[in-house]
A and B are shown apart, each in its own frame.
Chain A
Amino acid sequence: GAVVSQHPSRVICKSGTSVKIECRSLDFQATTMFWYRQFPKKSLMLMATSNEGSKATYEQGVEKDKFLINHASLTLSTLTVTSAHPEDSSFYICSAKDSSLNTEAFFGQGTRLTVV
């Protein structure tokens, strides 16, 4: 299957700082990328959908000014958690797909964010 790489896999930051998480499609063009959030022992919750070159579409309850998403190329999307607080600590997972193909999205390995 196609490969989606997330970086970093783990990050610890101080409260009030911003953290950027990268999601790359390594062997296909990701016209659409999705960002999910997962709390311990919980399911994945879709945060936002981004199409290359367009503004991201956020799910209800997700603050777009807090979770900045950029999808400027067909292989890279970034999620920036701004002014992070301890409650933002979570597992963030991206997935990517080529929407011109009738295939499932491929998931990255996730990023564990801890805000101290």
Chain B
Amino acid sequence: GESVGLHLPTLSVQEGDNSIINCAYSNSASDYFIWYKQESGKGPQFIIDIRSNMDKRQGQRVTVLLNKTVKHLSLQIAATQPGDSAVYFCAENTNSGGGADGLTFGKGTHLIIQP
């Protein structure tokens, strides 16, 4: 079936640099996307979301970009810190995030911050 996938399983960056984590999705009906951060042994933590009527959304130190033409999603983290080390998942949903549909998660990217 259709699913959300990620380009890189591991991303290593220097502390203070910017990070870009990519995600490709295949369900053209998806209209709501979320990025989650998961630390070892914990549940996913919401970072930022974006709906399909937008192509960019900014939060604190994070920016999500959505390119519906090529079905691509990215998460940019500015000035990475040691606490940013985690696995990052993109997830997608239909019904614009409302309704009662569960999320389809990508495979995850392990972000490693080097001192």
Contacts and interface: CB of A to CB of B under 8 A. Distances in A.
A36 to B, nearest CB: 8
Interface string A17-48: 00000000000000110101000001111100
A54 to B, nearest CB: 10
A7 interface: no
Given A43-B108, A45-B105, A104-B34, A109 B99 contact: no
Interface stretch (B11-19, B40-48, B52-60, B72-80): B40-48
A109 B43 CA distance: 4
A51 to B, nearest CB: 6
Contacts of B100: 31-32, 49, 51, 97, 99
B2 to A, nearest CB: 13
Contacts of A46: 102-104
A102 B42 CA distance: 25
B43 A110 contact: yes
B106 to A, nearest CB: 6
Contacts of A109: 42-43
Interface string A101-114: 11111111110100
Given A51-B100, A99-B99, A102-B98, A6 B43 contact: yes
Contacts of B36: 107
Contact of B96 (A1, A49, A59, A102): A102
Interface of A: 1, 6, 31-32, 34, 36, 42-46, 49, 51, 59, 91, 93, 95, 97, 99, 101-110, 112
23 contacts: A32-B100, A34-B102, A36-B105, A42-B108, A43-B89, A43-B107, A43-B108, A44-B44, A44-B105, A46-B104, A49-B100, A93-B43, A93-B44, A99-B99, A102-B97, A104-B46, A107-B43, A107-B44, A107-B46, A108-B43, A110-B41, A110-B42, A112-B41
Given A43-B107, A49-B100, A49-B102, 10 more contacts: A34-B103, A42-B108, A45-B105, A93-B44, A102-B97, A102-B98, A104-B34, A104-B97, A109-B43, A110-B43
